[in-house]
Structure 1
Amino acid sequence: MPHSHQPVIKPHATPGFSTEIWREIVLWLPPRDWKSLLQVPHVLGRIASELLFQRIDLHLASEKRESQRSADILTRIITDGDFASHVKTLRVFVPGRETFPITFQTGMLSNALPKLTNLRNVHCSMRWKDMYSVLRVLETISHRLTGLSLMPSDGTGELRFPRFKHIMQFSYHSTGGATTQVYDFLVQNKSSIRYLSLHNPNWSFPTEAVSIRHLTTLDFQGTFPADSRAFAEILSNGHQLESLRLECILECTASKQFREFATALPFLHHFAFSLMGYRVNDHDLFPAIAEFLKGRTALRSLQLIVPSADWALKRLGYDATVWGVLPSLTSLKALTATLPKDVAAAVAMWLVPRGVHALSLQALTPVNTIEFVSQLRAGLPPPLTYIGLSQFHVEDATAVIEQGFPMVRIARIDDDYYTVARVNGKIKLDEWPKGRTQYNAREWLACYGCEEAEWRDPTQFL
């Protein structure tokens, strides 16, 4: 009697996969699609909920809708232990330098924190006094925290840091305050920190407080005084660095240090060097950086920014030599740069590696923007999907994109982001809402394959 072959999956029936297999299927979807699965009456909906709420954003003292949403989430955490157990990352934002008290909100937060039994990463952006209250609670309940990101909005207070000793990712961005507490905390976690983001324009690099040889990511903004050997320390000891970003107020002669370690950092994939200001004449600086970058075929993203191409040419050697090294960076996917004064715009684009899909340009002296972008168009890399324009005079964003970059999917003009579409043969720009760009821009860029267009924000934990 012949065997009857029954189909493995019956028509119009849901496959009987295990929860683990369904989870793997959901993980293949982009996060923006998980929200749609919440409405599905199936194990998929529960999995999507668990994944979505692994990271929670709270916006305290914001506009009414966001404040109510945050209060509802805190209530859910306090009353639903299963929901709370899925939260691994918590980001808390209090906008600006609000002076009115948020005692009620921080009180709810203090009650919710002990419920987050699997919390691993915390970001706080608020006044330092409110931040102090949150950190004090964290210290008493979470000894397994591995990521901490702090951005005091008033920037001048003296925080008392918790006694954590196993932090792997740490970021601290401020505009004032003393270094003592921060540096003590760095020493406390010296052996465990792998990712460090430290921004304060008044501070020097904390060479003694950091184990550079342990770092895979270093993002530092600050001052390099006249006697600084910080560049040499970073280059000679940063053997494991994959990502290095330096935003400098430069007072030392850095070119000699780059020349001395021209072949350092063998695993470097992302490099950024930006000048916020300088009080030195170092004509070999950018030729030395160009030599340091030359032939790095593993480099995926590069940023080179100067405050004035004209003065940088005269005082720091920011000339065609820098742009001439680009063709040797064969794996480059994202480039952000100020065009050198002595390179014609049309020629400059032909030197950009052909694999670049995200390009951001900073304006030189005032130019006719439409005419300028028209010159760029012929030499643009074929896979370009993202264009960023900074400090350009743009009266009609649609006309600029139509004339220079009709092939891109995303455009950024200063702080405004746009999705680019072609409707009936014409370019149409849809501006992104500010909430998306302020807190989640890189995640949305990832949806369009452009995540490397911008540096990873320290609030986006690994």
Structure 2
Amino acid sequence: MNVFNPRILEACIRDVTARLTDHQKASVLLHALERLPAEGGSREIMENSVQALLKTNGLPCVDLTKALILRAKTRLVAGYRTSAQQDLHSVLTLDPDNQDVKDIIHSQHLRPEMLLREPNGPPRFSIEVWTQIALFLPKRDLKSLLLVPHPVSRIASQLLFREIDLHLTPLHEPTGIDSGVSFDDASDVDRDLDNWHHQRSADILTRILVDPQFAGQIRTLGIHAASHDLSQSLAFQVGMLLNALPKLSNLRKVHCSGSKNLILRAVRCMHKCIPKIQELSLELADPSVDIDIPRFKHLTHFSLTSEGGDPTTTHIFIAQSRDTLRALAIQNSCWHFPADALSLRQLSNLEFGGHLTTEMFSEILSNGYQLDSLKLSGSLECSPSPLFRQHRSALPFLRHLHIRITSLNRHVQDRDLCPSISEFVRHRTQLRTYHLFLPCGAENRRIGFDASTWGVLPALSQLRSLAMTIPGDLSLGLAGWLVPRNVSALVLDMEGAAVDVVSFLKQIRPGIPTSLKYVGITNMRIRSVQVVVEHGFPQVRVVAIGQNVWSVIKGRSAEFGSSDALRAGRSVEEARQVSDISVEQWPYRRVRFHRKEWLELMECGDAVWRGVGG
């Protein structure tokens, strides 16, 4: 049988051209480009090939003009007339009487004087170049570009609407926070703002339905709704949402929070119309319910937050997706770790909140070889210190570690727990994030939590984010000096330290690293954030007290602050520094939905947990 393999021609061409000089190779490439059709998606090939020809040293002028003319024709077909005119101008510079250029000018109805005139302004970049520049800008700068009368404003609009959030119901803000500070006017929810978000969500859904190009550029979708709709508008919004979801052909990342009915309908619609979802995050507002999630064949990131319910259906879903999952987060205080459903060797990010058992620790330390970030929280029901000792060198790629023990089972007596964790992290110089929150009081002795737990910190020289509980026997003056010098985000849990606020700040301030930009304090009643900044952390840009967040603004407008500081016995320089500082509280919506974006904008990106969602 006579069988011809066309790949033989490609191999022969490659072998022949390998023996040619650069000029001969350029001639062969130019000969091939002349036979390449201008249509049919060959523009990238033409652009790369002509760019290679232009960079060839000593190329004849005739070949240069041919290459530029070929690229100009391809650009005209693709609609890039400005860049095509630049190529034609370059040809006329080399050969003013070129007949091919004159034919193109006549056929495209171009004016010769436009090509011959030297531009007086700055160089005009192509849309592709502006797009690449805009990709590096934060959202705040992209929003500013919307007001610029330039093509870059349209690019900014497209990039901004790659990620959209839909708020389908009014937001109910908390009226009080356990930190002792509450949100301003939290009890009086801004109904005008709720109405604005409601109208904005409806406008976005309408745009998706009528504009396929706009719908095709959306990559990330956030859906937020309460479990009960008091405004009676959720049914209409959900109907629009279900009609709009099939239009989002390029959607890859979805977060949905709300009732079981809303989440189930949205997930089933996406499974039917957008099977290539890669990241799925679900937050159930209804307690004690379970949800049957259909399988997504391309799913790599999955997150589920719920309370109570039966974990069977969730475990089945995880087992079905174990071959593709690379990041998993489960938060349910009533559930156990799904060890049988997971393939831990393939995971790079793992978060679990629930019952912390021996089986869980053994499975993670034995098989979590690829883990880059690990977050564990919940009630401790075992004594895992022997496992930490046995697997001291496990998890070799771990860079982010978070452990929060909320309570201890009454049978737990593991006085070696904290020392074993310290030994586990001592030689991990690659660790960037270390969070350790432990119960205090009478339970300290049961898990060996004392000042020695902080003694391991100086060994973690590359640490950037630190969050720890302060034990009662730790000297506050020493605590600041134990914090590694590279730390830029620090969170202190004051549950075990019974001390006055001002006294605490004055003791810890001398040893705090100068690189610190973010500080958080929990479980301590603080009446004034200004006091925290002035007495303890004047160098930071963001302060978090409990669940509330403030930006630190430095200026020279507060004249009365200087006189108050001088009356308090401070020096002139100290009084001037205090007067330069003021704070601005973040609105609840910013804390709830845009915390990561604003922290990165304030150069506090190390305070963002780099886990499944980060």
TM range (shorter): over 0.9
The answer for the alignment partner of 1:30 in structure 2 is 138
* Aligned residue identity for 1:447: L
3-state SS, counterpart of residue 310 of structure 2: coil
Number of the residue aligned with 2:383: 253
CA distance in 1, matches of 2:439, 2:585: 28
**Inter-partner Cα distance in structure 2 for 1:423 and 1:163:** 54
Q: Which amino acid aligns with 1:37?
A: L
* Aligned-residue offset at 1:14: 4.6
Give CA deviations for 1:102-152 in whole Å, capped at 9, x if unaligned. 211110000100110100111110011111111121121011111110001
Structure 1 CA distance for aligned equivalents of residues 401 and 528 of structure 2: 33
Q: Residue type of the partner of 1:435? A: R
Residue 495 of structure 2 corresponds to residue 341 of structure 1: no
- C-alpha displacement of 1:389: 0.8
Q: Report how far residue 442 of structure 1 moved.
A: 1.3
Q: Deviations over 1:352-409 (max 9, x none)?
A: 1100011110112442111101111000011011110111111111122111111111
2:276–2:297 contact (8 Å) kept in structure 1: no
| Match of residue 418, structure 2, among 257, 274, 286 | 286
Residue aligned with 1:437, SS: helix
The size of the alignment, in residue pairs, is 449
The Cα shift of 1:10 comes to 5.6
Following superposition of structure 1 onto structure 2, how do residues 54-453 of structure 1 map, counting pairs within 5 Å? 54-62=162-170, 63-95=194-226, 97-98=228-229, 100=232, 102-225=234-357, 228-279=358-409, 280-308=412-440, 310-363=441-494, 364-424=496-556, 425=576, 426=579, 427-453=581-607
Q: Whole-Å Cα distance in 1 between the matches of residues 295 and 490 of structure 2?
A: 42
The Cα shift of 1:312 comes to 4.1
In structure 2, relative to structure 1, the CA distance for the partners of 1:257 and 1:457 (3 Å cut) is: closer
**Aligned AA for 1:55?**
E
Q: Distance in 1 between matches of 2:296 and 2:356?
A: 29
Residues 320 and 453 (structure 1), Cα distance of their counterparts in 2 relative to 1, 3 Å cut: same
- What's the secondary structure of 1:325's corresponding residue? helix
Normalising by structure 2, report the TM-score: 0.71
Q: Is the 2:351–2:611 Cα contact (8 Å) retained in structure 1?
A: no
Structure (1 or 2) with the greater helix fraction: 2
Q: Which moved more, 1:80-89 or 1:94-103?
A: 94-103
Q: Give yes or no for contact 1:194–1:216 (8 Å, CA) kept in 2.
A: yes
The 3 A distance-change label for structure 1 pair 253 and 397 is: same
* Contact 2:205–2:244 (8 Å) recurs in 1: yes
Bigger Rg over Cα: 2
Q: TM-score, normalising length from structure 1?
A: 0.94
1:166 Cα shift? 2.1
One-letter code aligned to 1:349: G
Query: Would you tell me which structure has more strand in proportion to its own residues?
Result: 1
Query: Which amino acid in structure 2 is aligned with residue 138 of structure 1?
Result: M
How far did residue 17 of structure 1 move?
Answer: 1.6
The CA deviation at 1:302 is 0.8
Q: 1:311 to 1:23 in 2, by over 3 A?
A: farther
Equivalent residue letter for 2:317:
F
Long gaps (5+) in structure 1: none
User: How far apart are the structure 2 equivalents of 1:430 and 1:170?
Assistant: 35
Q: Residue 457 and residue 415 in structure 1: after superposition, are their counterparts in 2 closer, same or farther (change >3 A)? A: farther
CA distance in 2: counterparts of 1:238 and 1:373, whole angstroms: 40
Deviation per residue, 1:293-327 (Å, 9 max, x gap): 0021111111000132x334311011222211101
Cα pair 1:245 1:271 within 8 Å, conserved: yes
Deviation at 1:155, TM superposition (A): 3.0
What is the aligned-residue RMSD (CA, Å)? 1.7
The separation in 2 between residues aligned to 1:248 and 1:156, in whole angstroms, is 18
Give the partner amino acid of 1:392: M
For 1:203 and 1:235, the matched residues in 2 are separated by: 20
Amino acid at match of 1:53: F
Single out whichever of 95-104 and 107-116 deviates more from structure 2: 95-104
Q: CA deviation at 1:457?
A: 7.1
8 A contact 1:366–1:393 mirrored in 2: no
Contact kept? 2:356, 2:377, Cα under 8 Å: no
Offset, 1:167: 0.8
Q: Which AA in structure 1 matches 2:400?
A: H
Tell me if 1:44 matches 2:198. Answer: no
C-alpha deviation, 1:42, in angstroms: 2.3
User: Are 1:313 and 1:341, in contact at CA under 8 Å, matched by a contact in 2?
Assistant: no
Measured in 1, the distance between the counterparts of 2:126 and 2:378 equals: 53
Higher mean alpha-carbon deviation, 362-371 vs 345-354, is at: 362-371
Q: Give the C-alpha shift of residue 351 in structure 1.
A: 0.9
Deviation of 1:31 after TM superposition, in Å, equals: 2.0
